[in-house]
Every structure is written in C-alpha cells, then in structure tokens.
Amino acid sequence: MSDGHDARRDGRGRSGGPRRERSAGGDRRRGRERPPAPNKESLVGAEAELDLTDIAHGGRCVGRVEGQVVFVRHGIPGERVRAVVTKGREGDRFVFADAVEVLTPSEDRVEPRCPVAVPGGCGGCDFQHVTLPRQRHLKAQVVRTQLSRLAKIDRDLEVRPVPGDTDGLRWRTRVEFAVDEAGRAGLRPQRSHDVIPLADCPIATEGVVGTGVLDADWSGMRAVDVVAPSVGEPTLVPIPVEDDVVVEIDGVEAGEQCVVEHVDAAAWQGDFEVHARGFWQVHPGAAATFVDHVLGLLRPEPGERALDLYAGVGLFARAIVDAVGPDGAVLAIEGDERACVSLAALTPDVEQLEVRHGDVARELAPLVEGGDEVDLVVLDPPRTGAGADVVQALAALHPRAIAYVACDPAALARDIATAAGHGYELADVVAFDAFPMTHHVETIALLVPSA
C-alpha cells in the first residue's frame, strides 16, 4: 500500500471491526503479484530525468520516458526530477520510481518534518514534502478524475480539513508499528519487509509516541499496536511472532482489550466501546465530522426506516436512531461479531435498533425478496467498495437518500456508476482530509433517485 501505519480500513466496514492482517508499511491492497515476464530486463535502479505532469490515484505523480509511463513518489506535478526506478521491466506499460533529486522544484515544496519521509524511507507519508493546501488540491484532483473516468461524472469538489490535527501533524491516534530483529519498533519502506526504527512519528499523536513504544524492546513480537483513544489512557497491543503465544496485559489477552471513544458532534453525542485492534477513525476529529455531514445529507425524520451497512460499532446507526425516534427503525448490518456485540450491549433498551451480524449482500437479499422498502441508507464499506450486488439491492429498496462514506475514490466511482444504472444519481459529494500527509482521502457522496 502507501499507508505505512495501519491496516484497519481493509476487508470490512470501517467503524469497529477487525482488519486484514499485514505488516506495518506493506502493501495492503494487492494480492499475489504476477511473476515477471521472461526475457524482460529489469529496470530497477535505472535513472532518468523527467517532467511530472499529473497526480495519480495512490499519491504518485505521472511522468513519461520514451513513451513509457512512470509513477513517481516524492514529486509534485510541475516539477522536473531525476528519478530512480524501484519496480518495473522493459516493455511494461508503466514502472514505479522515486524522485531522488528535484531539478526544478515546485513553489509548493517544503522540507518534510520527518527525516525518513524520503526516497527509500518510510512508506507511510506520501505528501510531507507538499504544502497542506496543495495536498488537498491534489486529493481533490484524484477524486474528480476517478468520478470522471469511472462514473462519467464531471463534478467540482473541495477537500475540507478535519479539526484535530496540528498543521497536518499529530493526528494519528492508532498506529501499528513493525518490529525488527533487534526488537525495535518502526515502520516499513514501500514494498519492503525491512523495518526503519524511529525516534518519532510526526503524524502520530503525542499520546501514541508518549507511550514509549519507540524506545522499548519488543523482542519476540512482530508488531505492536498503539491506540490513544479519546477517553482514558493509551493502550499497547503487542503481536507475537509465534501465533500460539498469548500476551496478557493487566490480566486481559492482548487484542481483547477495549477502549472508549467519545463523539462530540454538533448534532449528536455518544460513547462507543471499541476493541483495541478494531477499527475506529484514526483522526480525532473524523468521527464527529462525518456524523454531522451524514446527518445533514440524510435529514432523518421521526418515524423513518433506515439501514446502516458495514455499521461497525454503530457510529451512524446510533445517531440516526435518535433522529427517527421510537416510531422509526434502524437496521445495522456488520460482518464483525465483536462489533455487533458491542453495539447491542450499548443499546439494550433501544427497541427501534436491530443489529445483525453477517455479510451485507446476504443480509439484504431477504429484504429485497420480501418487497421491503426503506427511507434512508448510510453505508461505509471497505476499500474495495460495496460492489454491484449491494448497490443493486439498495436500489430495489427504494430509499429516498443514500449517504455513501468512502475511503477509496475509485471504488466509490464504480459504485456510483452502478447506481446510475439502477435509477440513482449523484446529488452531492464532498471530500475530507482525514489523513494529512498521506494520499488517502475520505469522500462522502449523496445518492438520490434520478429525476
């Protein structure tokens, strides 16, 4: 992947469940790579001067050498750089490279705050060398490009800041650090199993770094999670090299620990219990910001029926159930059993909220077959998106409004294109900079029945 700090956004809904395992800093989106074609000479280590013309999905800039596309990290569109190939062979449609020297710098180039946010360094931050306003401009450009390319929609949009960071730093409340053979915690370079020991991580909160995780000896561990929740003290979760080794902290098995998160949105407030290795938005201002925006888009009314899909611990479900009141109903569907148990335990007396553990597509099928209808839907799927089956099922339930919370603009665009084929159109789209210094961006779209 490109984000070297955490994997909680893959493989499931994104408000309370577990994540697909991976080592910090590695590529979490790709499966098994194709073997190289025979008789193609590797270009790794080759150098070239090139002009960077555009930004691509994933935080890399686009350049070309003799017609071959080069995706370049550590550059800015408009710069001329000397790049060194990090992956690719002769004849490939494209190769990957790092900008190791800037020949014509952009006026938006700044000195990275982290000494390892450089070529060959940590794979977590894509944009530490770019001013915050330009970072957000680049992210907006990526979202616009994906909507245009995959959904055939040309739409202007902005990437809004999220309150809670310090000039794009000190926002990450959850970090998975890798551990090297000497027991030192750190992060990985792009596409590497190496570990770079760290003295600090400038995008991690003071609470994360203040645990002393980067100074401790973690021998026998392959990774260590650090969680700095909004309520209570930070929690450390060591992950042993050997799967059959059990680590206990204060009498509780590591990974079974829970933390409390408080959401103080303008429109709704509440507390959530989240497993330490479960998912919660990593930016301290993200959960409240997204709740306010989703409620503003859906405008739930008393007595309405709603779905919260990939619900996690119920960030949106609990806010909507209060809005629809005792005469309304909310069905929350989530694939992680622990998150479902947590949500049900926090709302035992809320009869209008039903929590179902299961696959979203399978759980929707009987609703469609039974001719059910709903008024509102919010969905917060994994990075792969909801997919055609889920989108088709939602359209068959005839909601008046669908709020789609997406961490991947390409997956969002594909699902919007599918929705268009089933009678739903894009009415609103806004992006939020919930991951400053990285290429990641959270996008929230409103879909309504086509006129």
* Phi, psi angles (nearest 5°) of residue 289: -60, -45
- Residue 112 dihedral angles phi and psi, to the nearest 5°: -60, 140
Q: Cβ(136)–Cβ(433) under 8 Å?
A: yes
- In order, the DSSP letters of 121-167 are SBSS-S-TTB-HHHHHHHHHHHHHHHHHHHH-------EEE-BTBBT
E strand intervals along 267-337: 269-275, 305-309, 329-334
Residue 380 is assigned to a ligand binding site: yes
> 294 φ, ψ to 5°?
-65, -45
**Residue given tokens 């739409």 in the structure block:** 155
Known binding residue 392? Answer is: no
Task: Judge contact between 87 and 27, C-beta under 8 A.
Answer: no
Question: Per the structure block, which two tokens stand in for 421?
Answer: 């084929």
The angle that helices 315-324 and 286-298 make with each other, rounded to 10 degrees, is: 40
Residue type, 350: V
- What is the SS3 assignment for 316? helix
- Annotated binding residue at 135? no
Residue of 374, 381, 382, 390 whose CA lies nearest to 331 = 374
Q: Taking a C-beta distance cutoff of 8 angstroms, is the pair 285, 291 a contact? A: no
Per the annotation, does 373 bind a ligand?
A: no
The residues annotated as belonging to the active site are 407
Contact 436, 410 (CB under 8 A): no
Cβ neighbours of 426 (radius 10 Å): 20
Residues flagged as binding site for S-adenosyl-L-methionine: 281, 310, 334, 380
